[in-house]
Structure 1
Amino acid sequence: MVRVKHNQSSRRNYQNKNNFHSNSSNHNVIQVGQYGFFVTYCSTKESFVRNEIYNLLNRFADQLFGEEFSDEKQLDTTDLNDLDSALENEKTKLNDSKKTKRRFQIVKSGTKHSLFVTTTIPLASINKLIESIFQTSIQSKEQHSRYVERLLPISFICKAYEDDLRKLIIKQEFLDQIFVLTNDMELTNNTIWFDVQAKKSNNTQVKSSHLEEIVINDLMSRKSEDLNGKILKRDYKKPQICILIHVIKSLILISIVKHYDMFKKYNLASINLTTTTAMTTTTTTAAAATTTEGEKKEEEEEGEGGGEQKQKKIIFDDDDDDNDDDDDNNEETND
């Protein structure tokens, strides 16, 4: 038998092709070390949801941090007259857009009806963006989304192992994120009340209760010297800070948020439902008040009309009596 020698160039091309697909697939999936936003939605058309997420985040980000591409270069009219120069300008523009990382980029989260949004916004500002969306929705009583349900800021991502979680929470970045959220709070006795909640999906290796205990024990064992003179205590009912642990397959997503109850567990659909119900109630009350006023006016008009009829009736009776008296007088004179 003759051994067939494989072409080395074809083998290299095959390996490069596999490496390209593996690298491109990794860029489209949530990874360790990222931060951004976890989004759940209620639609079967993911393209509609993606457009809504981009529009919602970009609109509020432009208001808070300025426009993303504010320094775009304007093309000269002389260059546009030439077809070749116009094509070259388009190519350079496309190449520049590929090199620059966009402010928001949607990737797969690993579960159904949910997406993850990576961002170039600083870590300390991601909560500010989401809080602005919820506060505006509550104050303006306007519906800003149709498909988005939960919209959570994700500060940290690590592998779904207890050791990795311990290594993460002892970092100073973890505490700094708590301090950023409590800077504008009025703390009694420099005490920060917190709570930890853990949930998991598509994972059977770890227990939610164990993850909660790890974070709680670590934070409560910290000395005030390590916390800038502050103390961390747990509160089940009304915590100032909520630390949410989301286990998705082989990853742990950590959210550090405030106003957890006021923002309906960061459920934008619930906020929209509340505002819609309030507007409906207000409209119904106003309509009922208008109807009541109209009925009162009608009753008053009917009352005035009845009085006039009575007066007219009395006048007619007097006239009849006068006529009767005249008839009697005429009869007497005739007699």
Structure 2
Amino acid sequence: MSERQKQGQKRKKSYYVQSSNKKGASRLHALEPGMKGFLITCNNREREAVREAYNLLNEYADQLYGQENKVTTGKDGDDATSSEDDDVEAALRKEVSALKTGARWDERRFQVVRSGANNCVFIRTTVPRPDELVHSIMADVHKTQTTKSRFILRMQPVMASCKADEDKIEEMAEEVLPAFFGEELGGHTFSILVKVRNNNKIGRTIVLPLIGKVISEMCSANRVNLDAPELVVCVDVIRTVCCLSVLKDFALYRKYNIQEIVAVKDKNGSAESKEVTQAGQERENGGEATADVDGEEKEEAGPLEAVETLTTKEPSGEGDCAGDVAEQTSGTEEVIPPDCDTAAV
């Protein structure tokens, strides 16, 4: 026991700061320009969110691209490839050998890195189309109405990243956006969302006109639509790195919030089932007078008359915007206003 500990004295804060800056203090790599992957938000449960993200991404990536071919290099330079016929002990030996030999982290299909912001997880990937993979996950969740996660809130694909400078952002936009807003595509409606975390040198007042100018120059038919855009361009600045995403079906998939897709569908389903039950009871009455909710009697509509019902409810999305959303029970999709930080160019 040291003299300091015997005397009950605490170490100064500078001691711990210096220790944290030493090489090897963190085994995770940091988010760097040039990476593509997935930006995931959670609520103080980053470790659990990473585990869920690995399970989700590997499940759907195996369906789209096949199983990952894990290759590790031994001391003799020979490649050892995992096989389905190996038993459990052989698989464990290969895993231990990979850890000892220090297999390159960038060879893995998905690898978490330090994002530099709280409640934000960035998973680096080697798949060619991160947007295609995330869209398949959202489509399956919307179709099956099965909750796929407990800790993940939003899962956003990142097509490209660069240094958070105006020139670099413009170059990245000119490289990525033509695949979505090019002249040959005939024009799309779009909106731009900008989120800045831990950076006070660049803001949405700089990024919004910059991205809007690039999109407008690509095709004159591209138009801003804040209510129901076909494509949403998301620009996320985290410390010194700028991430670019282009999202389809942004309103349908509840801003790419996995939990909200199922929650909203459940609420709509219960409301619709209640209206269907009431309509069935009215048909059984055969047009006779029935009691209203307030106790008053009213005349039922004839069998040839169609009654349209319009209900208004509070949206339950993740965003901070407040407002009512009108929803028709005839089966039309609801339209959700974008985030508050959306601005027209």
* TM-score relative to the length of structure 2: 0.62
**1:139 CA drift (Å):** 1.1
Any gaps of 5 or more consecutive residues in structure 2? 1-20, 71-80, 286-345
Aligned residue number for residue 38 of structure 1: 39
**1:128 CA drift (Å):** 1.3
SS in 1 for 2:251: coil
Aligned residue number for residue 117 of structure 2: 111
Aligned residue number for residue 166 of structure 1: 170
Matched residues in 2 for 1:91 and 1:247: separation? 38
Structure 1 residues 239 and 86, CA, compared in 2 at 3 Å: closer, same or farther?
A: closer
**1:116 CA drift (Å):** 0.4
Matched residues in 2 for 1:86 and 1:249: separation? 40
- 2:130 is the counterpart of 1:129: no
- Of 216, 236, 240, the residue aligned with 1:246 is 236
Q: Does the Cα contact within 8 Å between 1:152 and 1:255 map onto a contact in 2? A: yes
Aligned residue number for residue 199 of structure 1: 195
**1:178 CA drift (Å):** 4.9
- 2:112 is the counterpart of 1:72: no
- Of 249, 256, 273, the residue aligned with 1:266 is 256
Matched residues in 2 for 1:242 and 1:139: separation? 22
SS in 1 for 2:35: coil
Q: Which amino acid aligns with 1:55?
A: N
Aligned residue number for residue 256 of structure 1: 246
Q: Does the Cα contact within 8 Å between 1:60 and 1:133 map onto a contact in 2? A: yes
Aligned residue number for residue 322 of structure 1: none
**1:88 CA drift (Å):** 7.4
Aligned residue number for residue 49 of structure 2: 49
Identity of aligned residues (%): 25
Q: Does the Cα contact within 8 Å between 1:198 and 1:209 map onto a contact in 2? A: no
C-alpha RMSD of matched pairs (Å): 3.5
Greater RCO (CA < 8 Å, at least 6 residues apart): 1
SS in 1 for 2:256: coil
Any gaps of 5 or more consecutive residues in structure 1? 1-17, 225-229, 297-335
Deviations 1:269-304 (A, max 9, x none): 2112113324555676799899x7xxx9xxxxxxxx
SS in 2 for 1:144: coil
Bigger CA radius of gyration: 1
Q: Does the Cα contact within 8 Å between 1:193 and 1:241 map onto a contact in 2? A: yes
Structure 1 residues 21 and 274, CA, compared in 2 at 3 Å: closer, same or farther?
A: same
Matched residues in 2 for 1:121 and 1:56: separation? 14
Aligned residue number for residue 21 of structure 1: 24
**1:232 CA drift (Å):** 2.9
SS in 2 for 1:191: coil
**1:59 CA drift (Å):** 1.2
SS in 2 for 1:21: coil
Deviations 1:200-250 (A, max 9, x none): 12222222022110111122123x5xxxxx843333332222111112222
